[in-house]
Structure 1
Amino acid sequence: MFSDGVWQGAVAPQFDTETLHRQLQQLPQLLNGDRVERLSKGADYVVKLPLQLADAELWVTVKIFKRQRALKDRYDHRHGSKAARSYHAANYLQTHNVGTPAPIAYLDRWEDKNLLESYYLCEYQPAPCFRDVLSDIYYNQRDNAPLMDVLLALAPTIRAMHDAGFMHGDMGNQNILLPRNADGSYAAPQLIDLNRAQTQATPLNNKQRAFDLSRIILPGAYLKIFKFIYSNHEAIPAELDRFEKKFRRRFEWHTRSRKLRHPLRTLKQRRNPPAARPVYPSLQDIWLWDEKSAQPMTVLERHEKNRFRDLGYVLRSAMHSMLALPAIFKNYNRLLATSYQQPVTLQNRIGVALHPHPDYIEEELRLLNQLGNPPVLIRFCHHETEADWQRGIELIERLHQQGVGVMVAFLQDRRALLEPKSWANFLERVISATADKVEHFEVTHAFNRVKWGVWSDTEYAALMWPAFALQERFPNIRLTGPACIDFEYHPVIAALKSLPTGKKLQALSQLLYVDRRGAPENKQGKFSTLEKCALLKALAQWSDSCDDKVIVSEVNWPVKYTGIWSPIGCPYEAPKWRETQPGESEDAYAWYMLRYLVISLCSGHVEQVFWWRLSAHGYGLIDDKDGFRVRPAFAALAVFMQLLGKAKFVQKHDTAEQQYVFEFATETHKVMMAWCNGGVADYAAPENPERILDSLGQPVEKLQLSDAPIYLLYPLQ
């Protein structure tokens, strides 16, 4: 303990020296020194200053507590001041190996039962708080990886604190410091502002844990990840989850009602100049990219998304769809009946997406050559840098010189709408440099998923305006869109209806994924891949805002066992996904790819299909995480392109249910491609083939149909 007649308190043993005692006695005077720096605002505030310890200088943080009402003083006289409670709580954390700045001392000056002055001293920790780290990520980095690094470092610390029987009581983001190691990784998080803490001899129960967790401010999807990590990467206990949500709702109401509870304080704050920007962006403006899966992350939970839904867009979408569906389905029924009835030349109809990154370009160009240099899709992302865009432009120039057709996809972020001039400059930068080298420009991406930063058809239309303006400067460019994702066509209708009068897309492009149904022949209601393609074509024919041409600009199947590199598993592999391992095996991925390409293109409803992506660990033809390892899908596509890349589709043969036989003609052979959706079936070929090859080009002894397509080759007479 520390006492000199005026001051009462305690000094930590490792700092307990006469030198420090003398400085503590003079602390009020030292706080007026030239080297004192204020670190926080408010009535209870924090400063830092240097103190002399033996032969060394130590920077110290001092929490200065304001004068209180008499009732609170009486309480603190019995239970200890805020400074005393902070000091003892910090000692408790250190004893249990939970991070907090090393406690040095606390000082109280009492007069009878009135607390006149109160100070808590600890080592200064030169680290940003969790609040400021999040703000930097949301505004500047806009990337998932640094946020996941924070959560993976922080959640285990909070868990250890609770397991040690310590309840913080005020665990807001500002009360967690995040120091770093020399290599840039996160060191042990440091908990501060401990005066509301409570300790007990046993681990906290779920209700106590939930109270602390409810003070952490994160978007809903990342809060859920945080709770998974906190739960030792297992399922979140139902009781913990229920209490956390209850306390969070209560705290949110408490925060919203503050202006009613403190009207004078609110009026005073309104007189102050507004901050340059809020600590955090609005939830609807948070946009975080994940490089592993090459997509923005789902940031919000459903109830948070609903808070920002544009009711006008919902109503317009429903109205336009109801009015359009009769005409669209009339076209659909007619088109479906004509499926596979017309010959289709496959040359230049199958493309792959490349990744214009320095570590990929040369290897991918080599691999592209092995596929016969099919058309290529190149993404340009608004959130990337000028240098990234320049690499993409240079790659297009190389491909153009080699005679490779190119399609460009422009990807927006939320900032594209918040800063429209930046989006317009981005489009101008790329289109002006590549207008004569690109066959189609797809403008915007998956606007029907709010994680891509677009919340309505009017916002989609705002992104299209600069593209149409550029088309007036470069009249030969062909624009496509709206590039909605999955089998959701009502936002396609709404997007087309939102385009300016007289403006028209030169093709309807769609990210037509069917992976959730497994095989491409499997149906979603009444719609398999064939029916989905026919309906998309019918929609294109119905609309006067696009030409009668359909491009599937993105499709793949996630690969099993690829964890957070999978579009399903990113950015965190929840217990459910670890158990079920969603996605397809590498073999099934290859088989489904070939079948999708044949069904969609030979139907006559789709002009081109671009496979996303050539190299990607979680979903690519090549495993870029394993030294660009060739997967069966790449080998299968190479065989397909060699056999049928320039072939003409002739007809689809009548077969038993779930059996598929497609006939093609090349310059030298009739080729029949055959498979069975599920199981194994014998197949009697109409005549003896010259050769039978499997999907990887290897000879087959027995003619039998399975999920793996086979090729029957007949020489032309």
Structure 2
Amino acid sequence: MDEKRLKAPFSWDNYSDQPAQLKDKQYKKQMRQREFSSLFKTVVTAIIILPLSLIAMPFIKRKEIKTDDFFSMGVDYQREPELTLELLEELDVSTILIRLKLWELNTLEELKDFILKNKERRIILKILQDREHIEDLNLFEKDLRTIFEALHNHVDIFEIGSTINRAKWGFFSVDEYNRFYKTAYDLKEAEFPDAKLIGSGVIDFEYHFTAHTLFNFFKYKYDGIAALLYVDRRGAPENMQMSFNLLDKIAWLSTMVWMSPKTKHSLHITETNWPITKTAPYAPTSEHECVSEELYADFMLRYYLLSLASQQVDSLSWHQLIAPGYGLIDNRNKIRKRSAYDTYKFMIKNLKNAQFLRLDIKRGYYILQFLRNNRLLQIHWTLKPTTIKNDDFFEVYSMDGKLIEDEILSIGSSPLYIYIKDAV
């Protein structure tokens, strides 16, 4: 792909689909010094908001999540586009997330054509920034108007900006992002009132930045909050980070969304994955964080199940369908579906229109219960492998859809789907 180079000292890594490391340390130091007042506000806001939101966590309002909208898949409109369309049909995904780079607006017609081919699906469009558009907000407004004019009738949600707490993505402070988002919001209010904008775009468990995007004096509103809630550096999604597991992190984030006067009570996880071992240079992290393809499938499913069980996440977009270092499909030499592809497909088949009932956790043993087509579905996994009897009233499937008829069921890292016969 012929790609315009980002404004120096920034550059794009086509292998891992993200900006390359920003190596100019002197430049980073100067920019952070220039943004000291914003960084100070981030600290002060966090000191006030984070403890208050922790106290408020038990009082958060749960909501009923529409499972049809919950499952979302990230796709690249320029990477194997015809195959992507076939795979989306096969997976039966109703929502997709597409990324558009502001420095590649020459591909806008190509993007629009791809979106029109997915007109039956719900579209989330993530607009990726570069330093040029952050520094020149008039240019950003001009180019964003071009995007809105072409796509606002075809896109359900626009995500404005991404990964705002990593300097290599172009932002050096939350206030820089606040000005960036306000430009988009003002344009939407003046010319495209029906467009829905989500923002914040903080990556990882760094809620001091999130707090500043939710509590500030800028005059804008969000239609929902976007978070890139990676937990890959901690291994399994149930693992703790500063005494918080994935469910705790979601609850805390949702509480801040609930408390903020700047946003509707809508939370979207718009990017997460695990990097896959032995895929360098395509893996977006070091080999230390990478996992096997088998664990990748386990962790992906459990991340989705826990997020759905929280009943606080409106949509969860996996990053992404085709990517050698972290996707469901490896396209390096030929098209190869990883085991996670079948896992994702079977998850959608069973849960897309299911009604969540409850989650039970006891000594590291997890049971989710759903009602699907008037049948009770339980999903079991445990962090400490054990066995249970396969009763006559069980109909058991592996996470990739194989019927299991063994008398003794091995429960472990890979969740099992257990339908209870004649339960309703």
Q: Does 1:394 align with 2:394?
A: no
Cα–Cα, structure 1 residues 141 and 376, in superposed 2: closer, same or farther, change >3 Å?
closer
TM-score, normalised relative to structure 1 = 0.56
Structure 2 SS opposite 1:613: coil
- What's the offset of the Cα at 1:305? 3.0
CA-to-aligned-CA distance 1:536-589 (integer Å, 9 cap, x gap): 1011011111111111011111011101100014xxxxxxx4xx5x41111110
Residue 287 of structure 1 aligns with an amino acid whose one-letter code is: F
Q: How does 1:85-100 map to 2 (within 5 A)?
A: none
Partner Cα distance (1:627, 1:689) in 2? 43
Partner Cα distance (2:180, 2:27) in 1? 24
- What's the offset of the Cα at 1:416? 1.0
Partner Cα distance (1:331, 1:397) in 2? 43
Q: How does 1:53-68 map to 2 (within 5 A)?
A: none
- What's the offset of the Cα at 1:303? 6.9
Q: How does 1:295-306 map to 2 (within 5 A)?
A: 295-300=18-23, 305-306=28-29
Q: Does 1:663 align with 2:369?
A: yes
Residue 204 of structure 2 aligns with an amino acid whose one-letter code is: D
Partner Cα distance (1:689, 1:593) in 2? 28
Which residue number corresponds to residue 383 of structure 1?
Answer: 103
Partner Cα distance (1:517, 1:398) in 2? 38
Residue 619 of structure 1 aligns with an amino acid whose one-letter code is: Y
Cα–Cα, structure 1 residues 652 and 141, in superposed 2: closer, same or farther, change >3 Å?
closer
Which residue number corresponds to residue 147 of structure 2?
Answer: 430
Deviating above 6 A after TM superposition, structure 1's stretches of 4 or more consecutive aligned residues are none
Which residue number corresponds to residue 680 of structure 1?
Answer: 385
Structure 1 SS opposite 2:202: strand
Out of 1, 6, 14, the position equivalent to 1:291 is 14
Q: Does 1:314 align with 2:39?
A: yes
Which residue number corresponds to residue 637 of structure 1?
Answer: 344
Residue 694 of structure 1 aligns with an amino acid whose one-letter code is: S
Cα–Cα, structure 1 residues 676 and 287, in superposed 2: closer, same or farther, change >3 Å?
same
- What's the offset of the Cα at 1:466? 2.7
- What's the offset of the Cα at 1:410? 0.6
TM-score, normalised relative to structure 2 = 0.93
Q: Is the 8 A contact 1:486 1:513 kept in 2?
A: yes
Which residue number corresponds to residue 167 of structure 2?
Answer: 450
Partner Cα distance (1:325, 1:418) in 2? 30
Out of 320, 332, 352, the position equivalent to 1:625 is 332
Which residue number corresponds to residue 713 of structure 1?
Answer: 419
Which residue number corresponds to residue 306 of structure 2?
Answer: 599
Which residue number corresponds to residue 213 of structure 2?
Answer: 495
- What's the offset of the Cα at 1:323? 1.9
Residue 410 of structure 1 aligns with an amino acid whose one-letter code is: I
Which residue number corresponds to residue 530 of structure 1?
Answer: 247
CA-to-aligned-CA distance 1:127-153 (integer Å, 9 cap, x gap): xxxxxxxxxxxxx9536xxxxxxxxxx
Which residue number corresponds to residue 417 of structure 1?
Answer: 134
Residue 71 of structure 2 aligns with an amino acid whose one-letter code is: I
- What's the offset of the Cα at 1:688? 4.0
Q: Is the 8 A contact 1:408 1:442 kept in 2?
A: yes
- What's the offset of the Cα at 1:499? 6.0
Partner Cα distance (2:170, 2:315) in 1? 27
Out of 361, 364, 373, the position equivalent to 2:93 is 373
- What's the offset of the Cα at 1:713? 1.2
Q: Is the 8 A contact 1:447 1:460 kept in 2?
A: yes
Q: Does 1:334 align with 2:62?
A: no
Which residue number corresponds to residue 478 of structure 1?
Answer: 196
Q: Greater CA deviation, 537-546 or 418-427?
A: 418-427
Q: Does 1:459 align with 2:163?
A: no
Which residue number corresponds to residue 691 of structure 1?
Answer: 395
CA-to-aligned-CA distance 1:369-391 (integer Å, 9 cap, x gap): 111132000111112241x2221
Partner Cα distance (1:620, 1:547) in 2? 31
Cα–Cα, structure 1 residues 683 and 653, in superposed 2: closer, same or farther, change >3 Å?
farther
CA-to-aligned-CA distance 1:327-347 (integer Å, 9 cap, x gap): 311222333xx87xx764422
Q: Is the 8 A contact 2:214 2:256 kept in 1?
A: no
Q: How does 1:533-544 map to 2 (within 5 A)?
A: 533-544=250-261
Residue 77 of structure 2 aligns with an amino acid whose one-letter code is: P
Which residue number corresponds to residue 586 of structure 1?
Answer: 293
Partner Cα distance (1:684, 1:653) in 2? 19
Partner Cα distance (2:323, 2:361) in 1? 37
Q: Which has the higher contact order (CA 8 A, sep 6+)?
A: 2
Residue 176 of structure 2 aligns with an amino acid whose one-letter code is: E
- What's the offset of the Cα at 1:302? 6.1
Which residue number corresponds to residue 75 of structure 2?
Answer: 354
- What's the offset of the Cα at 1:622? 0.8
Cα–Cα, structure 1 residues 709 and 450, in superposed 2: closer, same or farther, change >3 Å?
same
Q: How does 1:33-48 map to 2 (within 5 A)?
A: none
CA-to-aligned-CA distance 1:599-653 (integer Å, 9 cap, x gap): 0121112111001111000010111214221111111010111112211111113
Residue 395 of structure 1 aligns with an amino acid whose one-letter code is: F
Residue 478 of structure 1 aligns with an amino acid whose one-letter code is: K
CA-to-aligned-CA distance 1:155-212 (integer Å, 9 cap, x gap): xxxxxxxxxxxxxxxxxxxxxxxxxxxxxxxxxxxxxxxxxxxxxxxxxxxxxxxxxx
Residue 553 of structure 1 aligns with an amino acid whose one-letter code is: T
Q: Is the 8 A contact 1:486 1:512 kept in 2?
A: yes
Greater C-alpha Rg: 1
Q: Is the 8 A contact 2:128 2:160 kept in 1?
A: yes
Q: Is the 8 A contact 1:615 1:628 kept in 2?
A: no
Q: Is the 8 A contact 2:103 2:130 kept in 1?
A: yes
How many positions carry a matched residue from both structures?
416
Residue 394 of structure 1 aligns with an amino acid whose one-letter code is: D
Residue 354 of structure 1 aligns with an amino acid whose one-letter code is: V
Identity of matched residues, %: 27
Cα–Cα, structure 1 residues 516 and 455, in superposed 2: closer, same or farther, change >3 Å?
same
Which residue number corresponds to residue 164 of structure 1?
Answer: none
- What's the offset of the Cα at 1:507? 0.3
